[in-house]
Copies of this chain bind each other. A is one copy, B any other.
Amino acid sequence: MRLPLIQFIVITLCGFSTFAQQHPIAYNTVADYSFIKEALSKTPLLNESFGGLKQSVDAFIGKDIDVPVPKDLAGGYTHERHKENYTIMFNSSVLYQITGEAKYAEIVKKLFLKYAKLNPTLKNHPLGSNPNPGRLFFQPLNDANWLVYTGLAFDGIYNYLTPEERKQIADGAFKPEVDYFTNDLEPWFGWIHNHAVWSCAGVGIVGIATDNKDYVDMALYGKHKDGKSGLLANLDGLLSPDGYYTEGPYYTRYAILPFYLFANAFQHYKPELKVFNRRNNVLQKAFTNALQQTDIIGQFYSYNDALKEKNFTCNEMVEVLDMVWGTFGADSSLLPVARMQKRVALSRGGASIAKALNRTGEKGKNVSYPYKSIELTDGAKGDEGGLSILRTGKGDNLVSLIYKYSAHGLSHGHFDKLNINLYDGKNEILSDYGAVRYISIEQKSGGKYLPESKTYSKQTIAHNTLVVDEKSDFDGDEEESQKYHPAKLFSNVSSGNVQVVCAEDDKAYEGVKMQRSIYMVNIPGHEKPLVVDLFNALSNTSHQYDLPFQYQGTFIKTNFKYTSSNNAQATLGKKNGYQHIWKEAEAVLTNKPLTQFTFLNDKSFYTISSITDDSTHILFTRTGANDPNFNLRREPAYIIRKKGVNQTFVNAVEIHGVYNANAENAKGSYSAVNKMEILQNDANYSVVSIVFDGKPLLIIQRNSNFNQHAENEVIVNNKKYSFTGNYTVLYNDSTIK
């Protein structure tokens, strides 16, 4: 079954540039395939992955696979057929290289020859998306996917094809697509955007596979080969120096795959380019940070446009993880992820990580990915705000709070300046809606983004941050939002027991300066942390301020009275997302300094304790209004509404107790917060006092001239507190460190 290691030189034919290349090279080299074949029989997970691939392809061997004229949206026949075709072609080319069996090359060749006939006849897809329609698919992104995988497939069966067949495929199957991208869709091809990464990777890989230097250069440096667009410009422009991808982790997953596929191909083709090492290994950082932006079951954090069903066991992450292992070397922290993926790519890295898993065996089973607190900058230069993830606890008890003060995030960004999300173990507690979309379901507009994505889930009210006057940040203007970003004032996520991030924004709402400080405090004697959220809104004019908490859970109890919408209910507002929210109940608080709401999620209770005043209203809402196609999930929110010139929201989010309905057991179902007070809140300092479990928790924070070496003396209740830096936190008069 082993292939002879034939090496030969092909003199390229007319229409191709005149350099020669050994194949395969684009996905695995000859040496890589030797390594994989050597490992195969001795490495169960590799063998299973190989078996899975073989089974998926064998089902089509000997069949006449359809290459239909494009007609449908995602989920429809022609869309799914073409998608499956490029998958079969790529997989079968890999099987051909591993097994040497001609049938695997033959099936790829036959499909290629059909595409070589079909593609020159194609016009824009009849249901093409505007302004950039696809050809084989309704959107060109899918065409770009097709190009990447068929490019790799061509390279894999290169040696099986005659020169005439190669030319027929290059001219018939590939050229119309490449020409379409680089001519008809030139601006799209020239974007700095994940779509462009895919299309450039497609053109580049086809260039390598067909020995076409023109394609390779357009892919690397843009249509005009001036470096203003193309893969390298995207690599420099899309990722921050930390490897943060501005569209968020759901799209990082998607955007890094073509980066890796092309970087891997170039590593073989032109190692001197050192794509993997560009910008201090920024691609490696992007991958690591994508993993750090998942919950403990591997689901990507759902901010920006995201589908909650996606996790790090998806194909993209399997492929990339294995390339990371193969490229940057063994890293045992990745083994728990590979174990959860339950399969490997048939690449050098995949074979290598499968061997490592084999060596680790049973004893690695209870190890989890080493999640930790991290801070990431946004922007190509790292100067456009960022994101902090505050974490505490281990394994199933990991608590993660995401504080987002990043730039907008291109077309998949939301109006969510200074937003927070909270995860407790595997559960999303203060949630982000993500995108309104049912991917791949034809009946739901072919899997496209649905209108409610724009009208609801992108809007500020769909998040856990301040909404001023029922408008979204930048009044929902994406272009405007894209120009600005908040600024981090100070932070410390390295300390064990007090983690803090403070950021401000004065652009999202004209004339309103917002400053939000998030403290995650491990209080001695308490297993779970307390989150203290200090949110100041400063303005010269009067506004309505809404601070929503999108809580996931079951309403348990409030410590205040409210009025329910019993027989009829109406929307909370008319636009900016408010039209999608039903008002289920409302409370007008008077003389209620401490307002508490407790809910239950899975096995824990959660209480939001708030300092409120006579201007405060509380709203209980639920999504689902003005949703004629039932696209929205019905999700509750708890909204604190205040009116005035300046307003301060102080909230403590508490995780407490244990609930086990199966054992009929509820412990600690009551909050430990007994009292909350603002003792000072001015341009110099904010001082908040919380009586927690009967003892005082005191937070003192500078509000100007932030400096971690600053010396402070603050008098609180006639007592002097001295500290160095931007903040101090004391519990029962002892500093928490």
Contact = CB atoms under 8 A, between A and B. Distances in A.
Interface string A655-681: 000010111111101100000000000
A185 interface: no
Nearest to A437: B661
A584 B624 contact: yes
B662 A314 contact: yes
Interface stretch (A123-131, A305-313, A378-386, A640-648): A305-313
Report how many copies the assembly holds.
Answer: 2
Nearest to A582: B569
A433 to B, nearest CB: 14
A440 interface: yes
A664 B440 contact: yes
A8 interface: no
A442 interface: yes
Contact of A666 (B440, B625, B663): B440
B556 A661 contact: no
Contacts of A354: none
A42 interface: no
A664 B567 contact: no
Interface in A623-663: 624-630, 633-634, 659, 661-663
Contacts of A661: 307, 309-310, 438-440
Nearest to A562: B628
A228 interface: no
A333 interface: no
Contacts of A584: 624, 630
B440 A665 contact: yes
A622 interface: yes
A507 interface: no
A579 interface: yes
Chain B CB count within 10 A is highest, among A443, A584, A622, for A443
Contacts of A598: 443
A557 interface: yes
Interface in A279-312: 307, 309-311
A569 B582 CA distance: 9
Given A310-B661, A630-B555, A662-B314, A443 B669 contact: yes
Nearest to A666: B440
A80 B663 CA distance: 12
B620 A315 contact: no
B75 A566 contact: no
A568 B567 contact: no
Given A566-B626, A567-B570, A659 B441 contact: yes
Interface string A302-331: 000001011101110000000000000000
A314 B122 CA distance: 62
Contact of A567 (B313, B579, B600, B659): B579
A444 interface: yes
A564 interface: yes
Contacts of A440: 659, 661, 664-666
A568 B567 CA distance: 11
A582 B569 CA distance: 9
A484 to B, nearest CB: 33
Contact of A556 (B441, B568, B669): B441
A657 to B, nearest CB: 10
A171 to B, nearest CB: 31
Contacts of A554: 438, 630, 633
A439 B664 contact: yes
Given A80-B667, A630-B555, A666-B75, A568 B566 contact: no
A571 interface: yes
B441 A564 contact: no
Interface string A541-561: 000000000000011110000
Interface of A: 75, 80, 307, 309-311, 313-315, 438-444, 447, 554-557, 564, 566-571, 579, 582, 584-585, 598, 600, 620, 622, 624-630, 633-634, 659, 661-667, 669-670
29 contacts: A75-B666, A75-B669, A80-B667, A309-B661, A310-B661, A311-B662, A314-B662, A314-B663, A438-B554, A438-B661, A440-B664, A440-B666, A441-B556, A441-B600, A441-B666, A441-B669, A443-B556, A443-B598, A554-B630, A554-B633, A564-B627, A564-B628, A567-B570, A568-B570, A568-B571, A569-B582, A622-B624, A622-B634, A634-B634
